[in-house]
Structure 1
């Protein structure tokens, strides 16, 4: 297993603005065969119900540990709140409904893209699927929801090698963002 370097490039208190920026970045990317992954900690039955409507067959486990309840064991999630949601490989059209469903809950939505494109005028080569990711953290500043906040952050993943800073800056420029200097390691 390897890690990507996830650079924060856009922070806003306006969720609609963050979603519009994600749409712009997705329009830049090669989304052929792309998927989306979800992560959140759900505390209330209302949020759980909305998330289950968006992600039938949701994968989850109790915050206290799987021995206190999990989808794998066939337990009822509403009886095990709070729960951690880790759901992978969903179609792209599930992302925005999930974002609406989580409301004020801290969550991360990661788009697993096919590639970032070649950009000859910026001297950027194609970035393959291995390092072509985009994450939106909702109500959190970090990838893992350790820093709940009232704002939302877009992270662009790279391999961290020479030249990847140019890619991050170029993508940030597409959405009026900038590199914040914050880079997190993310398993891929």
Structure 2
């Protein structure tokens, strides 16, 4: 397993603006076959909405797997708060999942085929290994440890020498955001 740095390029209280930014970045990418979804769920109402759009998702109690998990066949409603994961979902799963979360924190990560070459900006093509896009909803961090009332778009890019920072700035410019220097280590 390797890591990348996820760079925050847009933080906004306007969820529609964050979703538009994600769509713009997806259009720039060299394709995106799937999305990974995760969240911390504390209320039975949110749990019901999430299970309605993503039946059979993997989860475990925030108190630890020994206190309840999908693997053990436990009832998630009796184990709240829980952390949920659903990997390799079709792209059309993203927005129903966001809507189901309501005010609960979550993250969506799009595994891209790559970031394109941008000769005029001096950027080489970035392959799939380091081409990701993450939207944190109601949270500022990738793991929902810092709940907030805003949403953050993060881009992951890796290349030679100064290209990662240049790529991040170039992508931020495409969505009207800016790279503030805030990054997080992300396991890939």
TM-score tier, shorter chain, comes to over 0.9
Mapping of residues 1-188 of structure 1, within 5 Å = 1-32=1-32, 34-159=33-158, 161-162=160-161, 163-188=163-188
> Segments of 4+ in structure 1 off by > 4 A?
none
State the shift of 1:87 in Å.
1.6
State the shift of 1:75 in Å.
1.2
What are the Cα deviations for residues 123-153 of structure 1, in whole angstroms up to 9, with x where unaligned? Answer: 1111111101000011111111111111110
Work out the CA distance in 2 between the residues paired with 1:61 and 1:160. 36
State the shift of 1:161 in Å.
4.8
Work out the CA distance in 1 between the residues paired with 2:140 and 2:14. 13
Unaligned runs of 5+ in 2: none
What are the Cα deviations for residues 60-103 of structure 1, in whole angstroms up to 9, with x where unaligned? Answer: 00111111111111111111111111221111110111111101
What are the Cα deviations for residues 1-28 of structure 1, in whole angstroms up to 9, with x where unaligned? Answer: 1101100000101001100111100111
Work out the CA distance in 1 between the residues paired with 2:139 and 2:44. 21
Unaligned runs of 5+ in 1: none
User: Equivalent residue of 2:143, what SS?
Assistant: coil
> CA contact under 8 A between 2:10 and 2:178: conserved in structure 1?
yes
Work out the CA distance in 2 between the residues paired with 1:110 and 1:9. 15
Work out the CA distance in 2 between the residues paired with 1:38 and 1:132. 17
Work out the CA distance in 2 between the residues paired with 1:19 and 1:53. 21
State the shift of 1:39 in Å.
1.4
> CA contact under 8 A between 2:126 and 2:159: conserved in structure 1?
no
**Count of matched residue positions in the alignment of Structure 1 and Structure 2:** 187
TM-score between the two structures when normalised by the length of structure 2? 0.96
Work out the CA distance in 2 between the residues paired with 1:169 and 1:26. 16
User: Equivalent residue of 2:124, what SS?
Assistant: coil
TM-score between the two structures when normalised by the length of structure 1? 0.96
> CA contact under 8 A between 2:60 and 2:84: conserved in structure 1?
yes
**Change in 2 beyond 3 A, CA 1:58/1:99:** same
